Structure 1
Amino acid sequence: MLLDFFPSRTLTIYLAKMFAVRIFAVLAMLVLVLMMLDLLGKTGDILAVEGNGDAELWLYASLRVPQLIARFLPYSVLLATIITLAGLNQNSEVIAMKAAGLSAHQILAPLLMIGMVVAAISFAFNERIVTRATATLKAWEDVEYAAVPEDRETRANVYFNDDNDVLMGATLSGMGENSVLTDVAFYERDEAGMIVRQITADRATFAGPGWRLENASSFNVATASTREIDEIIVAEGVELGQVELRRVDPDAEPLSRLSDSIDALQGAGRRTAELEAKWWHKISGPLSAVLMPLLGAVAGFGLARSGNLFIRAVIGMALGFAYFVVDNSALAMGSFGGYPPLLAAWAPFFLFLLVGETVLIRTEE
């Protein structure tokens, strides 16, 4: 019987349903409260743009809610675990299950099963919805909540180096040879890094090589004179490869596309440790939903009447939040090159898996 993790179909459905309902309830509460607080800070910025109104506020909420769900779903699983197991313990249901011959792992098995389902849903949700919402929201924030860019790949405040010279643009839109820079400024500098000439234009298009500025204005620093230029090619050293590499945002790209971006960066000789760590974390992150029932399990065992139930709940919560702290720290270390990307993404998961198993076995099994 000890090797049968689901000895009772009725009990499995009872625990799984109870756990799933609590996950949804806690997540809804967290997202609702955090969304309201977020809107308190952003409403003024959104409505400050002429023409924006209630529709833009609802648009912001629709783009922000998926991010909040993705971020706080693991926390919801942790809190739901503690609430579920503490309630079962308080009502002596855990004692009844153990008296019937169930081990601690068998009691947790339905919760772990729901955790796996939540992890799969979370991964699909992140790949299909969160990445798109993040790309759109960042593009909208870059234009300070003006008209929502039709191209979600639009980037704001970009710059490129061409030896000593610098090409800057307020926005970068389009793909490949159709890339367009707007509100362009080109700074021609000498060997000492001093600006010799500044050329400005409303837009620049890729000329292959270089970038074509039309109806430009040239200011010569030495003579303090300005002249108009119908057309000029600048920054011939800024190639499309550099432009595309500027677009990589791991939070706004699904797994397959991020893989292509990493390959492109590696081919250009760029450092990709941060992106590789984020790539692995797109898989290990959702799996934290499987880990939470194990870390919060300490709240469900022990005698409730002994007065230690609250302390056990606090310990379970502390273990869960410690995981998130270590996970974020490891990811930051991987970004800085302190840890290999694979280790940065997976070490916290397996470390706390062993910690949770050790606590459960030594205290209950």
Structure 2
Amino acid sequence: MQFKYDEDVEAFRQEVRQFIKDELPPEEIRLQRGYEGGFDTYEEEYDYTMGFQKKLAAKDWLAMAWPKEYGGGGASHMRQLVYNEEMAYHSAPVGNMGIAWVGPSLMLYGTDEQKEKFIPRITQADDWWCTLYSEPGAGSDLASLQTRATRDGDDYVINGQKIWTSGGHLADWGWLAARTDPDAPKHKGITMFMLDMKSPGVTVRPLINMSDRHGFNEVFFEDVRVPASQVVGEENRGWYHMAVALDFERSGIGAYAGGRRNVERLAKLAKDNPQLIERRPSVKHELADRSVELEVGTLLAYRVATMQAKGLVPNHEASAAKMFGSEMGQRIQLTGMHLLGTAGQLRNGSHGQIADIATNYLSSVSGTIAAGTSEIQRGIIATRGLGLPRG
């Protein structure tokens, strides 16, 4: 099936491609970077990411999905789809928690003072935000979080721990969920805060993953004071504020665009090194399978975007696109390991290394956990899509 975009959307795609060509480093450098590594220092990672996002902000693309009255672009779902597809294909550093979570919450629940102070800084990429949600005992069951926020005059005093905090070592601000009423039912005693990550009592410790990369962190709070003016929304209503979802494009197209580029790289690697295929001919069939899966997954993503463009609300359809994409991503990296054989264990800088497949393979493991596990997605598909009973 071939999709045909409106002329203005296709012209926008070409504009995005040219922008990426002009503003990002050559591909071989980009492949070493990405969210989790390839930088010599944290400062280099911060400057690379925020520098590119400032260029996006200058073109009014960083917050293109936001309503225009808040400094956004008010872009259609199809323009968002094309933008997300091209950025993911080229591994551009566009992930931004301020755009995805903080700004939308401020639009709906923030005070005029909060909107005036924070929203312009978010749209201009002046601050790096992280989300402070998960805890050692509260992951998928996030409402079980135990980090405490106790009112003390004009401040709240925060004590507790967060874990799996993406980019916490780089963040200027944190979007924090903390328990303000320990006696209330677990969903009803949570409050949302904007926390300065440089506040006294905040300690960020790296979590090095099995691919020897630093993307996640654990964050400790010891008597951290947060002004009450940095509470967002109603006290004890934070759980419901966390569920905010503006009508952004959420097809999951990034997994398929990035996956397509990875399969293209593997195919080129196989053609440039025919001995790899001679040693293991079955890899040709694996690459063919991955190519078919990419076509199927792209259709799943396009279905979600098309539903949104028509004013519909995707539910199990979005779960299907997310689950299939994250599991397909793991299969792509496994195919890369099969292609290289034992050489696939070599890392960047190793003698005889021709591609850093090992790092990508190890990093892909988290794909079926982050942003909703595959088990959760299957449950949604079963109950909401097929009407099967819970339990």
Counting helix residues as a fraction of each chain, which structure ranks higher?
Answer: 1
What's the TM-score once normalised by structure 2's chain length? Answer: 0.23
- The higher relative CO (CA closer than 8 Å, separation ≥ 6) is in 1
